[in-house]
Amino acid sequence: MPFLGGQIGEMDQGGFGAGAGEFTPLEIPSLVLWLDASTVTGSGGVAVWSDLSGNGNDATQGTTANQPQTGTRTENGLNVLDFDGSNDYMILPSALYTLSDGNNTIVTIFRTDSTITDQRLVSGSDDGANSRVMQRLNSGSSIQLRNTSGGSTVSLSTSYDTTNVHILVQRRSGSTLQGYYDGSTVTGSGVAQNVGGISSFILGSQPGASGSFLEGAYCEQYMFDDDISDAKLNQLGNYLSDKWGATWLDI
C-alpha cells in the first residue's frame, strides 16, 4: 500500500534532534521546500513526500509503479527514500515553478548506487521538455548544474562515489550560478538568468520523466527563494553533515 506522507516522529519538525539553542533549517526565512526522508515512516511506495517548510509544497507520485520506496534502507541510521534507477520519480507543485526566476538556492542530499549512468536529481523544464533548472550526475565524471533559459551549465569536474552521502548545492545570485559539493566551492561559475515558462518540476529523472532516473537514496531536498548567505549555508551544511554522516567544508 502506498505511504501517504511524511510523519514527524522523534526528530521533530524543528530539526535533527533539535533542542534549545540548536540550529534548525526553519531559521532560514527564505525556505520554501523541505523534504526529509528521515521523517517518513511505514513501508512501501511513497505517494506523498510531505513538505516540512510550512508552505505545503509536497512532492507527489500518484502512479504506484513510479513511487520510490520507504522502509527499505537507511543512511547513518536514518530512513531514506530508495529510487530504483528504472522509473521512480516525484513531482513538485506548480507553486515552485517561478523559483528559478529570481535568486535561489537548491540543496540536495543524496547517495547514488551507480557511477555509470546519467542521473538527474532535480529537473525543471519548459513545455518542450528542455532542461531549465538541473542537477545532473553526469555518468561518474562530473556533476552539472543549470538555472538558465539556454544551455549554459556549471560543470563540477569531480567524480562521485557509491559509498557516501553527499551534499550538493547550487546558488543563483543575479546572473551568476555557483555550485558547491560537500562544501567545496566549484572553480568558476556559470551564467544564470530568469527561466520563465517552467511547466514541470520533478525529482529523480530528466524532463518528462523519460530517462536519466536516479538509482540510489534521496535523503533530503531543500529549496530557498533567495541566495542564502555563506553563514546560513555553512550552518545548514554542518547540520546535514552531522545528521547524515556526510562531509561539509565551510565556504
Average pLDDT of each block of 10 consecutive residues along the chain (251 residues)?
A: 45 53 92 98 97 98 98 98 97 95 96 91 86 86 83 77 94 91 77 83 91 96 97 97 97 91
What is the chain's percent helix, strand, coil content, to nearest 5?
15, 35, 50
pLDDT of residue 103: 94
pLDDT given for residue 117 in this prediction: 79
3-state secondary structure 38-52: HHCCCCEEEEEECEC
Residue 14 confidence (pLDDT): 53
What is the C-alpha to C-alpha distance for residues 30 and 24, in angstroms, rounded to an integer? 13
Residues 6+ apart with CB under 8 A from 9: 39, 41
Burial class (CB in 10 A: 0-12, 13-18, 19+), 143: buried
> How far is it between the farthest Cα atoms of the chain?
48
Closest alpha carbon to 204 in 97, 60, 98: 60
pLDDT of res. 10: 37
pTM for this predicted structure: 0.91
Which residues have CB under 8 Å from 169's CB, separation 6+?
105, 106, 107, 108, 179, 180, 181, 233, 237
Q: What is the pLDDT of residue 64?
A: 98
Per-residue confidence (pLDDT) for residue 47, from 0 to 100? 98
Question: What's the CATH number of domain 3-17+25-244, 3.40.1130.10, 2.60.120.200, 3.40.190.10, 2.40.30.10?
Answer: 2.60.120.200
